[in-house]
Amino acid sequence: MTEQQVAEMAMRVGLADVFAQYPEIVRAAAARAHAPLSPLDAVRAGTTEPAHMFQAIDSNP
């Protein structure tokens, strides 16, 4: 991510001041939070049909 993108993301989530103070940490957090989540898509393969999706959410079964 570019510096500009991180700055915009930080502003969007209300962390503009924190970004000014801890740019490295905010940059790392943004990158880490966007680490590949492709395993989630793989494991939920059977629940992507919209009409059945409601069955697939439970806060803690």
Q: How far is the CB of 4 from other proteins (least distance, A)?
A: 15
- Would you say 2 or 59 has its CB closer to other proteins? 59
Residue 28 in contact with residue 15, Cβ under 8 Å?
A: no
- Here's the x/- map for other proteins, 41-60, by CB under 8 A: it reads as xxxxxxx-----x-xxxxxx
How far is 22 from 27, CA to CA, in rounded Å? 9
How far is 53 from 43, CA to CA, in rounded Å? 13
Closest CA to 46 of 61, 56, 38, 37: 56
4 binds other proteins (CB under 8 A): no
What are the residues binding other proteins (CB under 8 A)? 9-10, 13-15, 17-18, 21-22, 25-26, 28-30, 32-47, 53, 55-61
